[in-house]
A and B are shown apart, each in its own frame.
Chain A
Amino acid sequence: MAATAQDSTAPLRMGPEKKDEDQDEYETEYSPFYGIEKGAVLQEARIFHDPNLDPRRCSQARSAARARRAAQQRRTPTDRAALRPLPQWERPITRPPAAPTRRPQVITKLLYLLNQGETFTKQQQQQQQEQQQQLTAMAAAGGTKEASEVFFAATKLFQARDPHLRRMVYLCIKDICPGSDEVIIVTSSLMKDMNSTVDLYRANAVRVLCQIVDSQLLAQIERYLKQAVVDKSPVVAASVLCSAVHLMAHNTDIIKRWVNEVQEAAQSKHPMVQFHAVALLHALRATDRLAVSKLVTQLTKASIKSPLAQCLLVRYVAQVIADSQPGPSGEARPFYDFLESCLRHKGELVIFEAARAICNLRDVSARELAPAITVLQLFLSSSKPVLRFAALRTLNRVAMTHPMAVTNCNIDMEGLIGDSNRSIATLAITTLLKTGNEGSVDKLLKQIGGFMGEITDDFKVVVVEAIRALAVKFPGKQRALMAFLAGALREEGGFEYKKAIVASILQLIQIPDSKEAGLAHLCEFIEDCEFTFLSCQVRDRATLHLAQLSGDLGGPAALLSAAARRPDPGALEARLKAYLAEGEGEEEFDLESVPEAPSTPARAAGARGAAAGAMLPGTTGFGGGGGAPAARGAGGAAAPAAVAAAFNAAQAEAEAALKAVPEFAAYGPMFKACPPARLTEEDTEYAITAVKHVLGGRLVVRFDCANTVPEQVLQNVTVALDLSGAEGFVEEACIPLPQMPLNATGHCWSVLRLAGGPGAMPSGKLGAVLRFTVKEIDPGTGEAEEEGYDDEYQLEDLDVSAADYVKPRALANFRSAWEELPAETEREDDYGLGPREGLQETAEAVVGILGMQPCEGTEAVPPNARSHAVLLSGSFPGDRPALVRLLLGMDAGGSVAMKVVSRAVDEGLSEAVHAIIQEA
């Protein structure tokens, strides 16, 4: 057939090729050819003006040429350089303009420009879109006019009878994408084609129409489209079904009326018709789980011939299985047999889809996995790289949860380590790392080391993750694995990659034997790390481990003394201390002399909390290191959640800083410290962050100030708060910072008394201005000048909200605590949260806003749940408890609604809880 496919057009296309060769050489030899491009085009444009040309043809040609000329003018020199030399059909000399196929060539040129001269495409389309919004404003713009002109001209070509030309016109209309007011011009022509006897005209007209119509017009042509669904020509039926899948997005109601026709089309013998019909049937039911389940039952019994349709069905089945509640153990999953039967399908496409679906089943058993693994194993020895990659990627994922199930494939995978496709080789290694035994680790590490330099960072991260898992599995191989990671840490690499390595080493450090070696590697890394954030994190973590190493875990103060007063143990500690001294200023470890001294160990405590929350959830690192401070706040909760842990660590840090100022001792114990808030943009001259503390009926604000300008000294630094914007605050005291350290942090303080006693919780925005005395540094002597001048620097407002007064409170029994609180304080309110990613994400966000402690494990939303209740407990200043029941529900469209019911010791507090949510 290939021989005959081109008969009508072939001579014209293939003919000039030989003739053209000389010119082609000319073109490659003399690149200045680019220079005459414009001239050639202008000349071509003149040909279009030729009076001998058919006027219809001329109008088309002229507008295309104009569009082209406009594109030339708009292009910048670099754009022009990016354009490749004109293909031969762009040159006027080679082909007489009167040739009958001239017009499609002009259209091709237009499409070439749309495809190639990219700025042109973009501008035109953008203008088109804008035009739809504001017609008048754009009417003046030349580009819009041109696009419209081209479009109008193209519509004239409907009068020509050449099928190829017609096909190009269809494509052209789709690419130009006319504005809604222009669509009407082509609809009648397209409608005519939709009723043509030629299948391809019908099919293409349907596709074009469905792409450009609006709902109103769609309603008018709906009857024709509905008929076309059951058209006996597969190309027509497939076209309309495919278009309907797109139309579903905005015109669900219209498409829903076609359900019977679509059902019929799903029985079609033609594979693509069946595929699109099945896709549409599902799309029509996608929001209704029960209907999807029924559809799946129906389709699994029907005979689906199209491999793509079968793939869809496999996906639907997987979805139904995921949505169904897991039955009692041992009971067969519904539809599992169907998936297994798909493994024996004759199309690789379907086999793979089914194998993948089985591997991804939730809580899949080894017995269920076995047949899928077997077919994937066969794929591993395929000659097609795509198939090998697909199988290996799936096996790699299975190996994370079921390494034993994959061990049968080890020999096949070992053969793929040397695969010429690096992605396959990497996957093979990481999978083997997960499934291999202890003896093969050294061999694998050697092989990996051989090609680490050649793979992308994405894959390097995968390798590092695999090594981390391996280290946990085979503690005996710690030394070799640590050496590998250390080597990797020294190599070049991006942030994510280095972060993965650091996280891995930090995990390895948990194992006592590798602690010293790991810390040594990290220390080395701190010195050369190019990522500031990462090196800070490493430093903080290292400090924590240093403290652990010295065996003293007695909270911030003890940490401090551990770091400051014991000169040993060993070189490692000395090295760390040297680094810390370098980074933080020399007196850092001397508790008595400098007020900001506690910041270093305290930050370590903070980092520890953050790490427990973010970096290494659930590892032993936190439990050991954070014992003392965590236990105090968590009230002996058996397994303090990451939230509480991070919170307590931050509290301990803040409290330590607070205690360093003797003036605050009289205020009594700290109730709560809020997370730091930046008051300056990043990379400004001064970096100021504020930490609010609630204690003794006061709001004590600590401002962490850092100077980044080495040419000046800032002294007597205060932050003046403007209280006029908020009620209920009275300025009580202000402790200035004698001198703002360069690139390090010093504190100044403001104390606001809360009018109305310890229970008051005023909120509002407080304007903040940094005030200080500047002294220039004499560049000659390096000394600060004697005389300074006062200056100020506007900071961002300091927000005080109701949430600042809440802290999480662990609770053993939520129900009894709820009952104990007076029922009349109960306040209830509903909130619509709009579309969200999922309930888990929503729950986390709301818990974050409220700053309360989730109880009884309710913070975890079960997978696929459509509604969920979170129980929260918190307390307000004066240790007054408040409890919240948070009910979340998600509708079919993904929108989340929330009901908040609160109880507290008094009504004011209960209302305060709602105020927090309303403010957020």
Chain B
Amino acid sequence: MALDPTCPKVKNLLLLDSEGKRIAVKYYSPEWSTVNSQANYEKSVWGKTSRTNARGEAEIVMFDDVLVVYKCLGDLMFYVTGGQDENELILYAVLQAFYESVSILLRQQVDKKTVLENLDLVLLAVDEIIDRGLVLETEPQVVASRVSMRGADGDVPVVEQTFSQAFASAREQIARSLLK
């Protein structure tokens, strides 16, 4: 018996650089069981998306029975792949969780160099968002705090943030959205 077919599923998360090379990827679906098939898939995804402008809003493309939502940030491309019949907006929510949690963890310094220097954080973020294809968490703040193991060493857990902390965080986010 396989997974319940009604459950939303993610086929893979990809983080590629500006030349389409792999930085961090995670495949959850047996379709790409070999390294070659993964490389081919990444190549074709990149070929179909690299010329589009996904800097402002996340973009979407459908090909070969998959839906791919993607977003370009700095010199990086974030991709989330789902099945053809998946709700596009669920994939979009996962994509948002992916790139926003990485942004938070890297303090908005999202470029290839910083990502490579902090690859552990990116890999952990991927692990916190998707568990073997199932959506585990889509709230970027929550993902980021889990990645940094807040609360594990006597830190204040997110849910119990003080008002001033919450306010500071909100202020920063507003500032960020204005600067976009």
Q: A residues within 8 Å of B by Cβ? A: 1-6, 8-10, 13-14, 16-17, 24, 82, 84, 87-89, 104-105, 107-108, 111-112, 115-116, 118-119, 121-122, 163-164, 166-168, 171, 174, 198-201, 203, 207, 211, 235, 238-239, 242-243, 245-246, 248-250, 252, 272, 275-276, 279, 282-283, 286, 308, 311-312, 315-316, 319, 348-349, 352-353, 356, 383-387, 389-390, 393, 420-421, 423, 456, 458, 893
**A167-B60 in contact given A84-B21, A279-B7 (Cβ < 8 Å):** no
Contact, CB under 8 Å: B120 / A107: yes
Residues of A within 8 A of B144 (CB): 2, 5
Contact, CB under 8 Å: A245 / B134: yes
Where chain A touches its partner, the secondary structure class is helix
A sample of 13 cross-chain residue pairs with beta-carbon separation below 8 angstroms, ordered by A number, consists of A2-B107, A5-B104, A6-B107, A88-B113, A112-B119, A164-B148, A167-B147, A238-B136, A238-B137, A249-B3, A308-B8, A389-B60, A420-B53
Contact, CB under 8 Å: B90 / A423: no
- The A/B interface has a contact count, at CB < 8 Å, of 220
Contact, CB under 8 Å: B4 / A248: yes
Residues of A within 8 A of B172 (CB): 2-3
Beta-carbon contacts under 8 Å, B105-150 to A: 105, 107-109, 113-114, 116-121, 123-124, 127, 131-132, 134-138, 141, 144-150
Residues of A within 8 A of B161 (CB): 1
Contact, CB under 8 Å: A118 / B38: yes
**A235-B117 in contact given A349-B93, A353-B87 (Cβ < 8 Å):** no
Residues of B within 8 A of A238 (CB): 136-137
Pick from A87, A174, A283: contact of B116, CB under 8 Å: A87
Closest residue on chain A to residue B130 by CB atoms = A242
- How far, in Å, is B112 (CB) from chain A's closest CB? 9
CA distance A319 to B172 in the complex (A): 44
Interface flags for B74-115 (1: CB within 8 Å of A; 0: not) read 000000000000011111110000000000110111000110
Contact, CB under 8 Å: B123 / A115: yes
Contact, CB under 8 Å: B88 / A386: yes
Contact, CB under 8 Å: A199 / B157: yes
Residue B69 lies at the interface, judged by CB distance under 8 Å to chain A: yes
CA distance A446 to B134 in the complex (A): 44
Residues of B within 8 A of A201 (CB): 152
Residues of A within 8 A of B31 (CB): none
Contact, CB under 8 Å: A1 / B117: no
Contact, CB under 8 Å: A242 / B53: no
Contact, CB under 8 Å: B7 / A245: yes
- How far, in Å, is B31 (CB) from chain A's closest CB? 15
Contact, CB under 8 Å: A423 / B62: yes
- Nearest first, the 4 A-B pairs at minimum CB distance are A1-B169, A87-B116, A163-B152, A118-B35
Closest residue on chain A to residue B1 by CB atoms = A249
Pick from B22, B89, B145, B150: contact of A349, CB under 8 Å: B89
**A118-B39 in contact given A353-B87, A386-B58 (Cβ < 8 Å):** yes
- How far, in Å, is B137 (CB) from chain A's closest CB? 6
Residue B34 lies at the interface, judged by CB distance under 8 Å to chain A: yes
- How far, in Å, is A269 (CB) from chain B's closest CB? 11
Pick from A84, A203, A385: contact of B60, CB under 8 Å: A385
Residues of B within 8 A of A239 (CB): 131, 136
Contact, CB under 8 Å: A456 / B48: yes
Closest residue on chain A to residue B38 by CB atoms = A118
Closest residue on chain B to residue A319 by CB atoms = B6
Pick from A115, A279, A312: contact of B24, CB under 8 Å: A115
Residue B40 lies at the interface, judged by CB distance under 8 Å to chain A: no
Contact, CB under 8 Å: B89 / A348: yes
Residues of A within 8 A of B93 (CB): 349
Residues of B within 8 A of A10 (CB): 107
Contact, CB under 8 Å: B157 / A458: no
CA distance A319 to B145 in the complex (A): 37
- How far, in Å, is B153 (CB) from chain A's closest CB? 5
Contact, CB under 8 Å: A311 / B120: no
Contact, CB under 8 Å: A349 / B149: no
Closest residue on chain B to residue A88 by CB atoms = B117
Residues of A within 8 A of B57 (CB): 383-386
CA distance A356 to B86 in the complex (A): 11
